[in-house]
Amino acid sequence: MQVRHGLELAIERLRGPMTRPPAVAELHAAALAAETVALHRRLRNSGKRRLRERLASALSGGGTLMPLFHLLRTASLQGSRGFAVAFSGLEEGAAWDLVISRESLAAEVVCDVVSAEEGRLVRRDSWVRLTDRVVGDLREWLAANPGRHLLKMTLPQGLHEGTLVDLQERIRRLLRNGRRRDDDDAVVLRLDPLAWAGHDVSPWLRREFGPEAHLAIASEKAGLFVMVARAGRADEVGVAMRRRLAAIAPQRLSGTRPGILAMFIEDTDRTEWRGLRERLELEGEARQFLAHKDARPVIAVTCSSRFELFGVASPDGVEDGDLRFRNTAHPSAKAAALAPAVLSSV
């Protein structure tokens, strides 16, 4: 919850007395909050109403400010590239969010958010719920079995809300029966001594099991119990983005002007975000989408994350502010006026 609502918590901290200078990320959060207020003042009455509605939704239930702040940052980024920016979604209720124009050309911009969780077979929120369920059992077992232990889990069918109770019971049964292995088509459990004898086990676990592994560590005076889980295949964050692109392009673009789909990839950490870029996963899936007939109105797909929104420097953040993938088949692909917004960054 602290990660998901980090933006809201940062703004709330800035509203009170500060015991330290604000961090760079907090200053970016404050600037976006100030821009929200400034935008409200510039909008017509209908736009003000829609903006207040979006704010109320963002601060209710499981909502966050990220989608709205992604919209504001996208507008600011395009403005810095020399475009005039109109908030058509707020002012007119258009399906697209922005219209950017430069010289005699204009493009529609759709700002959308896709969670990396959609591409994970083992979802992080489900993993957290599982560890909450079993931590008491692990501590109790560790007290009776002092030492350093490693429970490795392979989950070929993934982990989601419907499988939590069954997996919890299987872990309990494995510990209760003193067994070292339990496996079938749904899960492989293996309990071994922990081979690492150093103090900080987390870096070793990352090196040993990779960035996609899910980790949990329970420590007591009696020793250490580590759980590591991996899916049966690699995460498919790029695939989740491509599916989202295919869903929104026909619904949110008019087809009368070039369209830019500005995607915000949420719920990633530094290692995952860098890996997605270095392995060209987002580029590969974006270009696969751009080759489809649904992408005919789309002149470019752009991608960014929290790291760009919070001003994190390269290599964790993208130096130009976003990744851009141009659709070379679009009639306006070579238009110089639109180049700063659509020219491929990789």
Question: Domain boundary at 179, 211, 231, which?
Answer: 231
Tell me, yes or no, whether 59 lies in a domain.
Answer: no
For residue 111, give the nearest of 265, 290, 282, 289 by alpha carbon: 265
Tell me, yes or no, whether 174 lies in a domain.
Answer: yes
Same domain for 89 and 149?
no
Tell me, yes or no, whether 34 lies in a domain.
Answer: no
Same domain for 138 and 188?
yes
Tell me, yes or no, whether 106 lies in a domain.
Answer: yes
pLDDT number for residue 169? 93
The Cα-based distances of 324 to 158, 262, 263, 302, 321 in angstroms read 32, 9, 10, 4, 10
Same domain for 159 and 187?
yes
Same domain for 189 and 324?
no
Report field, pTM of the whole predicted structure over 0.85: yes
Same domain for 197 and 241?
no
Same domain for 337 and 276?
yes
pLDDT number for residue 40? 97
Tell me, yes or no, whether 69 lies in a domain.
Answer: yes
Would you tell me how many other CB atoms lie within 10 Å of the CB of residue 260? Answer: 28
Tell me, yes or no, whether 196 lies in a domain.
Answer: yes
Tell me, yes or no, whether 55 lies in a domain.
Answer: no
Tell me, yes or no, whether 12 lies in a domain.
Answer: no
Q: What distance in Å separates the CA atoms of residue 48 and residue 29, rounded to the nearest whole number?
A: 21
Number of domains in the chain: 2
Q: What distance in Å separates the CA atoms of residue 102 and residue 80, rounded to the nearest whole number?
A: 12
Question: Domain boundary at 204, 231, 258, which?
Answer: 231
Q: What distance in Å separates the CA atoms of residue 144 and residue 195, rounded to the nearest whole number?
A: 20
Same domain for 178 and 276?
no
Question: Domain boundary at 179, 197, 231, which?
Answer: 231
Same domain for 106 and 131?
no
Peptide bond into 315 cis (omega under 30): yes
pLDDT number for residue 196? 81
Same domain for 333 and 279?
yes
The Cα-based distances of 180 to 149, 184, 271 in angstroms read 11, 14, 32
Same domain for 149 and 136?
yes
Residue appearing with tokens 């600011």: 76
pLDDT number for residue 62? 83
Same domain for 172 and 135?
yes
Q: Note down the domain range covering 130.
A: 124-231
Q: Give the pLDDT means over successive 10-residue stretches in the chain (346 positions).
A: 84 87 90 95 97 94 93 97 98 98 96 95 90 91 92 90 89 90 90 84 86 87 90 90 97 97 94 93 97 96 96 90 97 96 92
Same domain for 212 and 301?
no
